[in-house]
Amino acid sequence: MLSVKNLEVVYNDVVLVLRGVSLNVARGQIVALLGANGAGKTTLLRALSGLLDIHDGEVTKGQVLLDEKPIERWNAPRIVAAGLGQVLEGRRVFGEFTVEENLRVGGHTRRGGLGESIEEIYELFPVLKERRKRTAGYLSGGEQQMLAMGRALVAQPDIVLLDEPSLGLAPRIVAQIKDIIVQINEQRGTTVLLVEQNAMMALSIAHHGYVMEHGKIVMDQPAEALLQDSDIRDFYLGRGELATSYRDLKHYKRRKRWLS
């Protein structure tokens, strides 16, 4: 249903960041996209969500097809209205608004009224219900991530793009976020494209996985196969253990180059 074909993206008219990316996200799947810092993962999500222009980026070649319709020239509101929601890097919430106000803002794009939607979000994230009158800026990092996800989900997207939802969060919170991703996929049938540095988390719930390196897809396999792959184990799973510090992990990745 979401298909990227040979996509090229350039920033500031000169910097070629995506160099012919192709991938498919089938309806109902969770697809993981892994890759070191600077590989171009966020850039791809920006291209899929119509957000390149605000970063001075541009699609110079290739296509993004949503149910076979080319959307790579659409603007962000039109893409959201077509059912493709996104949770951006850095879990942005409206810091001065309350939790509930943030959710109402997310819901305004929804076809039809808000209806039961906010209550459904509170069922997924009970902590947001407890904090409904709190100012979003004072929530913890994990709660802000949940709010950012809730804000995208309240519009009931068919597909949701998640950019590193576990980044910097404690293992207990990462486990909750992981369960919620599985829940929205299984219960609501939401398709998920999950960008993660936490390869173990992402591959343990994904159906399929891609690895991006220097703006190209270098691996494309069922998630289970990637979990067994020795390069993946060595590079992303820190020799079988989960990296505890993202900073160390990112550092390690910068030093090590592989598959090139």
Ligand X SMILES: Nc1ncnc2c1ncn2[C@@H]1O[C@H](COP(=O)(O)OP(=O)(O)OP(=O)(O)O)[C@@H](O)[C@H]1O
* Interface positions with ligand X (CB under 6 A): 11-12, 15, 17, 35, 37-43, 55-57
Interaction between residue 42 and Mg ion (CB under 5 A) = yes
Q: How far is the CB of 12 from ligand X (least distance, A)?
A: 6
Tokens representing residue 199 in the block: 């390869």
150 binds, among Mg ion, ligand X, none (CB under 5 to 8 A by kind): none
Shortest distance in whole angstroms from residue 68 CB to ligand X:
26
CB-nearer residue toward Mg ion: 42 or 185: 42
247-256, Cβ contacts within 8 angstroms, sequence gap of 24 or more: 249/197, 250/36, 250/37, 250/197, 253/36, 253/37, 254/36, 254/37
- Using the contact rule CB under 5 A, the part of the chain among 27-35, 37-45, 49-57, 213-221 near Mg ion is 37-45
Cβ-proximal residue to Mg ion, closest one = 42
Q: Where do the DSSP E strands lie in the chain?
A: 2-11, 15-25, 30-35, 57-66, 69-70, 84-87, 159-163, 191-195, 208-213, 216-222
What does 140 bind: ligand X, Mg ion, none (CB cut-off 5 to 8 Å by kind)?
none
Q: How many CA atoms lie within 13 A of 47 on its CB side?
A: 33
The residue written with tokens 């089938």 in the block is 26
Task: Report the C-alpha gap between 209 and 196 in whole angstroms.
Answer: 11
User: Between 42 and 166, whose beta carbon lies closer to Mg ion?
Assistant: 42
Whole-number Å distance between alpha carbons of 20 and 12: 18
Q: Are the C-beta atoms of 33 and 212 separated by less than 8 Å?
A: yes
User: Given the complex with ligand X, which of 30 and 211 has the nearer CB atom?
Assistant: 211
Nearer to ligand X, 15 or 259 (CB): 15
55 binds, among ligand X, Mg ion, none (CB under 5 to 8 A by kind): ligand X
Question: Among residues 12 and 244, whose Cβ is nearest to ligand X?
Answer: 12
Q: Which stretch binds Mg ion (CB under 5 A): 34-42, 49-57, 165-173, 217-225?
A: 34-42
- Compute the least distance from the CB of residue 38 to ligand X, in Å: 4
176 in contact with Mg ion (CB under 5 A): no
HEC string of 54-98 equals: HHCEEEEEEEEEECCEECCCCCHHHHHHCCEEEECCCCCCCCCCE
Q: And the tokens for 63?
A: 């296509």
Which residues are CB-contacts of 250 (< 8 A; sequence separation ≥ 6)?
A: 36, 37, 197
Select the binding partner of residue 178 from Mg ion, ligand X, none (C-beta < 5 to 8 A, by kind). Answer: none
Q: By CB under 5 A, how many residues form the interface with Mg ion?
A: 1
Q: Which entry of ligand X, Mg ion, none binds 15, CB below 5 to 8 A by partner kind?
A: ligand X
Indicate the residue among 39 and 121 with the shorter CB distance to Mg ion: 39
Binding site for Mg ion (CB under 5 A): 42
